[in-house]
A = this chain, B = another copy of it.
Amino acid sequence: MESCNLPPPRLAVHTITTKPWSTEQCIEKYAAAGVGGITFWRYSFEGRDPAAVGRQARDAGLEVVSVARGGFFPAPTEPARREAIDDNLRAIDEAAAAGAPSLVLVCGAVPGQALADSHAQIRDGIAACLDHAAAAGVVLAIEPLHPMYAAERSAINTMAQANALCEALGSGPNIGIACDVYHTWWDDALEAEIARAGAAGNLTAYHICDWLSPTTDFLNDRGLMGEGCIDLPQIGRWVERAGFAGFHEVEIFSGRWWASDQDAYLKRIVDWAEK
């Protein structure tokens, strides 16, 4: 499969991609490999000051792209939904402290709860965070998740739903979409919905990896770019045509790759981008 032909400075890596590494190792290794940006998973801040972590990244020459992840708004009771909002307000603060311009939202779902109810709770949850996000200068980036996660991880499963949600929330400067190819590659509306997001100024982030065939695990069997069946060059052209000029963020959950030599793995990621 043809590569995206991206210059390496446009490549960012999510810390979960190299899960065996500490936060400090991620910063040091990504910078040394010529990666341009880093997205911190919240666990990367554990026992650390997010502001200090952000500073370390920038001092190493990395741009802090985003924090992953907030969301999980739906819950069966009002106190639980309030708690979810409070946790998102804290995540916004962490993102702001780290100097990350955006927070990725995995919106949430409750097994057995009607998806329409979850949609309403997601909309209300995000709405309750928007003023705080604006004050903090953080964009809330709604990430549609693959429909196989609709029962318990996110009731927002297509770019069309994410676009509609952004629009329902006013499409302001603090709301946007993180489009991850893993979740969206199968959708024949993808090109049109990427264009719709771009036209509304809602295309905040672009995540890349690959879909393996067969996939053997629902969570941790994503592929490195080029290993699977996603036409990354084509989707890359769609996001660029939609006006997106941000990082192509590598986010790979993979038990197989996590068990491998992480230096060699990172080299393969960077080599793919430089091809």
Binding site for B on A (CB under 8 A): 1, 111-116, 119, 146-148, 150-152, 157, 161, 185-188, 211, 213-216, 218, 228-229, 231
The reply to whether A111 and B229 form a contact with Cβ atoms under 8 Å apart is: yes
Distance of A186 Cα from B151 Cα, bound (Å): 8
The oligomer's copy count stands at 2
- The interface residues of chain A, by DSSP majority, are classed as loop
The reply to whether B186 and A150 form a contact with Cβ atoms under 8 Å apart is: yes
Write 29 A-B pairs (CB below 8 A) sorted by A numbering.
A111-B213, A111-B228, A112-B228, A112-B229, A113-B229, A114-B231, A115-B186, A119-B188, A146-B147, A146-B148, A147-B147, A147-B148, A147-B186, A147-B187, A148-B148, A148-B215, A150-B185, A150-B186, A151-B186, A151-B213, A151-B228, A151-B229, A152-B214, A157-B186, A161-B188, A214-B218, A215-B218, A216-B218, A218-B218
Instruction: With both chains docked as a complex, state the minimum distance between the C-beta of A2 and any C-beta of chain B, in angstroms.
Output: 12
Instruction: With both chains docked as a complex, state the minimum distance between the C-beta of A209 and any C-beta of chain B, in angstroms.
Output: 14
Instruction: With both chains docked as a complex, state the minimum distance between the C-beta of A84 and any C-beta of chain B, in angstroms.
Output: 18
